[in-house]
Structure 1
Amino acid sequence: MIFMTVICTNGFSRPNTDPTASQQRTSILVLNLMPNKQGTEDQIISLFEETNLPIALTFMYPKSHVWRHGDQADLAENYVSLDDISDQYFDGLLVTGAPLEKLDFDDVDFWSEFNAIRDWSQTHTTTQLFTCWSAQAALYTDFRLPKINLEDKIFGVFENQLLGTSLPQWFQIPQSRFSAVDRTDVLNCPAVSILGDNQATGPFILKANNQNTLYVLGHPEYNADTLSTEYYRDLEKHQPVKAPENISLTAPQFAYAHWRCCSRYLYQEWVKQSFLLKENNSHEQKQLQF
């Protein structure tokens, strides 16, 4: 039974008003960079609920960014900023993607704050999970691995084609991005390991060898219809877009059932290891095992 395994200390979706409810739960701070805050909240909450683990979520925003898809005052009221929680500690930090792939990092209006949050997270969170744009941003911040801009969008569901990693070869994840990291650059960086790779997408799941950090160049939280919704949205805007690969627009649930299992496994193992590292109280000595 997965009833009430996840509570939210704040947010737009369903904040819990009981101040004691988050005790004895794995505390996850979510830096939500997606334009549709509540929609992304719902996706993340739903996926965490499927892990059947006791979790407390706190939603965060970059204070230096102007949210153009909603009311900034409402965002400040329902989310925390780094200033609000700078003296607090969390078991995990989850950072979402953002539709910023075509911008240089220095042109992102909250880039300085992103770096400040990344620095803070290394001493105030036990593990970190960066997804899509934030994964590429963190790879650049942590290891100076450059973001490669692409003319054609990586769009669809792609599986791991590597043998001999901790992730199974059939591991799948949705992708929706105009950028990538170069495989050769990663292989020349001994501090990073590739856990998931695909000839069409390049490396899409990476691990820092001496940090408890995962970099996932994709959207494990996506629902069955998210890719098709993005496709039809871009068509309506008369943008050049191809149909997402390896998924049916009319029957996405078949592909979704597979990648949802993979996404649940990813979240579940990350949360479990965050908890174990906290219990051992030695994340500097014990590393994330993926």
Structure 2
Amino acid sequence: MTVFKLNGLSSNNILNYQTNPELSILVLNLMPNKTQTEDQISQLFSEVKTPVAVTFMYPKSHQWKHGSQEQLAYHYVTLDSIRNQYFDGFIVTGAPLEKLAFEDVDFWNEFLEIREWTRTHTRCQLFTCWGAQAALYTDFNLPKVNVEKKIFGVFENELKSELPDGFRMPQSRFSKVDPRIAGETKGLEILGDNEQTGPFYLRAKLQNSIYVMGHPEYQAETLVNEYFRDEKKGQPVQKPENISLDDPTVAYNAWHDSSLYLYQNWLNNILKEKNNNERKQLQI
């Protein structure tokens, strides 16, 4: 369908100017390579059925070390600039911050402010990787558990749930959540789990939130490029599991179907929530 990028560092390639967006999505992009992440998220949205308008934001209290802070400020919005706006959906990306305590993250206070604002200015939220762990911590006081060996590769859901059979997600992180604590947390459901990764797909219906410990936006070469990048730097890194370094497309096709399911199902829930609210307003 159509994705309308209302701002961003990369060019806006609208596929069909005749289609009006049905939903507005705000993306807090915390990834180092923001342009790549923009393109990956936009590509996923372009493949689902629901046309959306996407706005990218950043925390102004964080100094971006992988590009021009001036350019970022020009092309992205901050909370101050959209404080009076409302969005249907809110996404928080991952960030290479797993080894830091949440309170040691330089933009943590601003993140808390943004989270509080989204409770009244967005309908549904989708948190991925570090964003999911940070949101679970703020919503349920669920601690992250640092791991010595990086959780790296493509991992399949081993839990019987409403997720499609063979649901899988690419992972690249140094932390996880404790399955016992997550399973005992009231109001939190575990829909996706793997013995190696721990819970990686969780839902909180009351908060209208989905927490995905993974990167649904990743494309075929992303994990492979991360491996060779770290190897070139001389960092200790193991090969990503369940994906071929020579031909990652086989693994990608499987997780890409899961990513499309994730995005479309999330958008369907937003539409349902939006329609329910509109019917309630008509009855008042």
Indicate the percent of aligned positions where both proteins have the same amino acid: 59
Q: Please give the TM-score of this superposition, normalised by the length of structure 2.
A: 0.94
Shift, 1:169, TM fit = 3.8
- Contact persistence 2:20–2:51 (CA under 8 A): no
The aligned residue for residue 63 of structure 1 is: 60
Give aligned pairs, total: 278
* Cα distance in structure 2, aligned partners of 1:117 and 1:14: 26
Say which is worse superposed, 274-283 or 71-80, in terms of deviation: 274-283
1:170 aligns with 2:151: no
* Cα distance in structure 2, aligned partners of 1:24 and 1:80: 20
Please give the residue correspondences for 1:114-129 in structure 2 after superposition, counting only pairs within 5 Å. 114-129=111-126
The aligned residue for residue 54 of structure 1 is: 51
1:110 aligns with 2:107: yes
Residue 237 of structure 2 is aligned with which of 238, 241, 262?
A: 241
Shift, 1:275, TM fit = 1.6
Shift, 1:230, TM fit = 0.3
* Cα distance in structure 2, aligned partners of 1:71 and 1:283: 45
Please give the residue correspondences for 1:67-216 in structure 2 after superposition, counting only pairs within 5 Å. 67-163=64-160, 165-216=161-212
Query: Structure 2, unaligned stretches of length 5 or more?
Result: none
Shift, 1:22, TM fit = 9.2
Which letter does structure 2 place at the counterpart of 1:121?
T
* Cα distance in structure 2, aligned partners of 1:274 and 1:58: 17
The aligned residue for residue 11 of structure 1 is: 8
Structure 1 runs (4+) deviating above 3 angstroms are 20-24
Shift, 1:168, TM fit = 2.4
Shift, 1:14, TM fit = 2.4
- Contact persistence 2:4–2:21 (CA under 8 A): no
- Contact persistence 1:7–1:15 (CA under 8 A): yes
Shift, 1:31, TM fit = 0.4
Shift, 1:186, TM fit = 0.6
- Contact persistence 1:148–1:180 (CA under 8 A): yes
1:225 aligns with 2:221: yes
Which letter does structure 2 place at the counterpart of 1:125?
T
Query: Structure 1, unaligned stretches of length 5 or more?
Result: 285-290
